[in-house]
Chains A and B, each alone.
Chain A
Amino acid sequence: DQQVKQNSPSLSVQEGRISILNCDYTNSMFDYFLWYKKYPAEGPTFLISISSIKDKNEDGRFTVFLNKSAKHLSLHIVPSQPGDSAVYFCAASENTDKLIFGTGTRLQVFP
């Protein structure tokens, strides 16, 4: 039973435009959400997070939005750059050390 879902396996965006990656979850007890970025042959690296008491968190070109009523979060990257091409995972936790990950979305940013 997948508690964290990323329904789009891939996304292709032109350089300079906005990339929007989506994530849905089923466990209403999740209270902390994170996005990770992964390049081939490397481990995932932390990108940005949001607590359930907020609905938006921004860090430079990256913004995460949380809609608790819809159990949905999204990552916006503006403007997108070729170096952003990677696999993006969302993850969630219910105040334990158990990070539960989604299946990932492969983002390709083309010139």
Chain B
Amino acid sequence: NAGVTQTPKFQVLKTGQSMTLQCAQDMNHNSMYWYRQDPGMGLRLIYYSASEGTTDKGEVPNGYNVSRLNKREFSLRLESAAPSQTSVYFCASPKRGGGSEAFFGQGTRLTVV
């Protein structure tokens, strides 16, 4: 039982390049989130998906797109990476609704040069 799996773990991009961060959960949860963690800023919500087929913007959605491919997978895409998107990205999936306990992946450390 892997929980939440993110790939890749590390990535370096040049400004303007695109990439997709992958996330999969094997817990049969409905909801999935993407957060970014920056020094002094904590964890900020980028996008979330309350159920398969739905996605909504979080606190910092600009520059990102998401796809809820199926119940298991929720991907985050950077169409044209910028240095301001250098961050650690976490995918998470809550146990149930109502902002309950969420399980996190190990993170993707992204550097945009």
User: Which A residues have a C-beta under 8 Å from some C-beta of B?
Assistant: 4, 6, 9, 32, 34, 41-46, 49, 89, 91-104
Quick check: A95 and B99 within 8 Å, CB to CB?
Answer: yes
> In this assembly, does B43 line the interface, its C-beta being within 8 Å of a C-beta of chain A?
yes
Q: Is the interface of A mostly helix, strand, loop or mixed?
A: loop
- Residues on B with beta carbons closer than 8 Å to the beta carbon of A43: 4, 90, 92, 104-107
Binds A, one of B11-19, B34-42, B61-69, B71-79: B34-42
The answer to whether B99 and A97 touch across the interface, beta carbons within 8 angstroms, is yes
Most chain-B CB neighbours within 10 Å: which of A6, A34, A43, A102? A43
CB-CB under 8 A from A98, the residues of chain B are 45, 48, 58, 99
B42 and A103 contacting across the interface, CB-CB below 8 Å: yes
A92 and B107 CA atoms in complex are apart in Å by: 21
Q: Does B100 contact A (CB under 8 A)?
A: yes
The residue of chain B having its C-beta at the shortest distance from the C-beta of A95 within the complex is B98
Bound form: Cα–Cα A89–B92 in Å: 15
* A41 contacts across to B, CB distance below 8 A: 106-107
- Determine whether the beta carbon of A101 is less than 8 Å from that of B44: yes
Residue B25 at the A interface, CB < 8 A?
Answer: no
